Structure 1
């Protein structure tokens, strides 16, 4: 039977793609690590890795063993976290993944304060607007506008917000301020492409609800880029208050059409692998972000 240390060594080799890098990470020699894997393969009676001078490749048995090894190591981490969480101080490396817009406009301000409060924690922040697999990407917390499903995941709602229609003062001074859905038609509206829920803007028109189709000379699937375009005066955007709220409060953006903008509440979720949910550094980050967003 493989020990947890053997499993941990095997997983590190796969994750880092190199015996030399994994050996350095585990603080053993490459030859010792190679012998460890050979003994593991001998005990299992199968080949786990195909090794050449240029690359490593998993065999079909290696792929299955990797999946099961990750599950076992996650369970060990969970057991240790359960025992230690009552007394442990938040410390160690916290890996967080976020959408670019939320990171640049909210986490940019929140994380420095979090680190001041918890000086023994180090944050590694990765940014992408696409959904990721926290287990495969070795991420502790994923922050997104919708929870990721799956029995191996834990989702916690951190806050609720709304979408805001806004533009820079320079744009409104140049193009005028629309007061209705009809007047909005003549403006340069910058849509968030690639998301079906954002293809139309729900606006009230008398007793009716109009599904306004935003159109302009530019579109983008990156929230951070849309924010920058709006601040620079290129057009009108409709983005979450999580993203534009600070800029609105500072006057860099001005909210418009607030009386007719109809937006269902949108939530911010933290999604985590079950094995990391109870780690003190993760719990501290979740509690802090909940407080920060509420404030």
Structure 2
């Protein structure tokens, strides 16, 4: 009997677990059985899907294509069965979502209660992390990413852009003085990020040029929420996205400094996801609900 869907499921588990032995353990099969199933797919298709080595398993280009389509088709089968079993009822199941800590807490979390009012049977598995995760390896359905997108086979919907601002509390500025030139940042406690991709520099405009000013401070953190709280505790200056700051600025709790010198970097924010054409209903309604509301959030509406 032809069981291509079952073979696809095994292949997907091999890719996502990273090895034949781990996939076999998860599937309660023997490693040799799993290996033979993948070899059977390769023989039928006439192409190699994975490069096998003692250390790791690597997909070929054909293997990546087959994996992507398998995920889409298996999701379509699951969605179809779910809809039929429920008689066309509302979407349900788990949507696995990844976001940066700051964007997730400021933008996504406040919208969740309204989402569950509209779709009470959808479970949101939300992971907040400032590490850029691999959607395939983490088995995530979608992610919200801040910054330029690397080339990939993922689909994307643009949410909007946000600019970074330099701010400090009134108490801190009264104690340390308000910087009027970028050079004066050297005299200030400038709190920053500890990402591997982050540098201890703030790009500034000086005499018509863009200069990367080295800054330093008593704290580096892995998320903007921590930096914002430290600024509110009068610890130092921070440079973070506007959506973290605008309410505090409006209430006078934080004051923007060097607005004419700080380079306005517009960071793009996207929702990235797998399988644009055949995604489960629960993922589709999540995207359709959150994208327009997050766009309004970034615009301050």
Matched, 1:269 2:270: yes
Structure 2 CA distance for partners of 1:187 and 1:64, relative to 1, 3 Å: closer
Q: Are residues 144 and 250 of structure 1, via their aligned partners in 2, closer, same or farther at CA, if it must alter by over 3 Å?
A: farther
Q: Structure 1 stretch 120-129 or stretch 8-17: which is displaced more?
A: 8-17
TM-score (norm 1): 0.72
C-alpha displacement of 1:63: 6.9
Matched, 1:75 2:72: yes
Q: Which runs of 5+ in 2 are unaligned?
A: 42-49
Cα distance between partner residues in 2 of 1:78 and 1:147: 28
Query: Take 2:59 and 2:196, find their aligned partners in 1: how far apart are those partners?
Result: 34
User: Residue 6 of structure 2 aligns to a residue in which SS?
Assistant: helix
For residues 241-272 of structure 1, give each alpha carbon's deviation from its aligned partner in whole angstroms, at most 9, with x where no partner exists.
13333443454433222232221322111111
Contact in 1 for aligned 2:24/2:34 (Cα 8 Å): no
Contact conserved, 1:81 with 1:278, CA < 8 A, in 2? no
Partner of 2:44: none
Shift of 1:239: 0.8
Pairing of 1:229-240 with structure 2 (within 5 A): 229-240=230-241
C-alpha RMSD over aligned residues: 4.0
Which of the residues 24, 33, 52 maps onto 1:60?
A: 52
Whether the 8 Å contact between 1:105 and 1:246 is mirrored in structure 2 is no
2:161 corresponds to which residue?
160
* Compared CA separation, residues 207 and 75, structure 1 to 2 (3 A): closer
- Structure 1 gaps of 5+ residues are 23-29, 47-57
1:1-295 matches, within 5 Å, as 2-8=3-9, 11=12, 17=22, 34=29, 38=33, 41=36, 60=52, 70-77=67-74, 89-194=90-195, 198-205=199-206, 207-274=208-275, 278-279=279-280, 280-281=284-285, 282-294=287-299, 295=301
Note the C-alpha offset of 1:20. Answer: 8.0
- Compared with structure 1, are the counterparts of its residues 198 and 112 closer, same or farther at alpha carbon in structure 2 (3 Å cutoff)? farther
Shift of 1:198: 4.9
Distance 1:285 1:88, change over 3 A: farther
Q: Is the 8 A contact 2:179 2:258 kept in 1?
A: yes
Call closer, same or farther: CA 1:144–1:72 in 2, change over 3 Å.
closer
SS at match of 2:136: coil
The answer as to whether partners of 1:6 and 1:40 remain within 8 angstroms in 2 is no
| Alignment CA distance shift 1:80-1:147 (3 Å) | farther
CA distance in 1, matches of 2:178, 2:38: 73
Distance 1:179 1:98, change over 3 A: same
Is the 8 Å Cα contact of residues 157 and 270 (structure 1) preserved in structure 2? yes
2:202 and 2:214 in contact (8 A); partners too: yes
Partner SS state of residue 190, structure 2? coil
Secondary structure of the 2:137 match is coil
So what's the TM-score if we normalise by structure 2?
Answer: 0.71
Partners of 1:40 and 1:260 lie apart in 2 by: 60
Q: 1:253 to 1:124 in 2, by over 3 A?
A: farther
* Partner residue, 2:47: none
